[in-house]
Structure 1
Amino acid sequence: HGQRDELFAAWRARLATLGGLLVLALAHRVLHGVAEDVEPSGSLRVRDDSGALRVVTAGDVEF
């Protein structure tokens, strides 16, 4: 997994999304929060306004 881990780390380091405020348009709701991290699968970890950590796999993101 070494090369895959290195590639993921390099990709993650370049994500402008992390640490920023965002609005996610999901299927049945809109989520406001901060992008905290990203999963190796590409899912985004978002801390919402209530303080809950959400893992989002699909949706439209606005910064």
Structure 2
Amino acid sequence: MSIRHLSDQNPDGTVMGAGAGDRIAFYGATPVAQAGAIASTAGTASTTANAVNAILTALRNLGLVAS
């Protein structure tokens, strides 16, 4: 197996998706645009739970967490 790297060894780093509308995905998932802002977790337990669920949804949509 041969490993391929995305880096061009630029000391400033490598960017994936130049804008919020550029679609990316991992592990064979369907590419999606950047998820919207997630509400602050400060406040009630339900607000925190909603924020955690939104984060999990965003990670699943990208393919970074299994569905």
Please say whether Structure 1 and Structure 2 have the same fold, judged by a TM-score greater than 0.5: no
Structure (1 or 2) with the greater strand fraction: 1
Structure (1 or 2) with the greater helix fraction: 2
TM-score (norm 1): 0.27
TM-score (norm 2): 0.26
Structure ID, larger Rg:
2
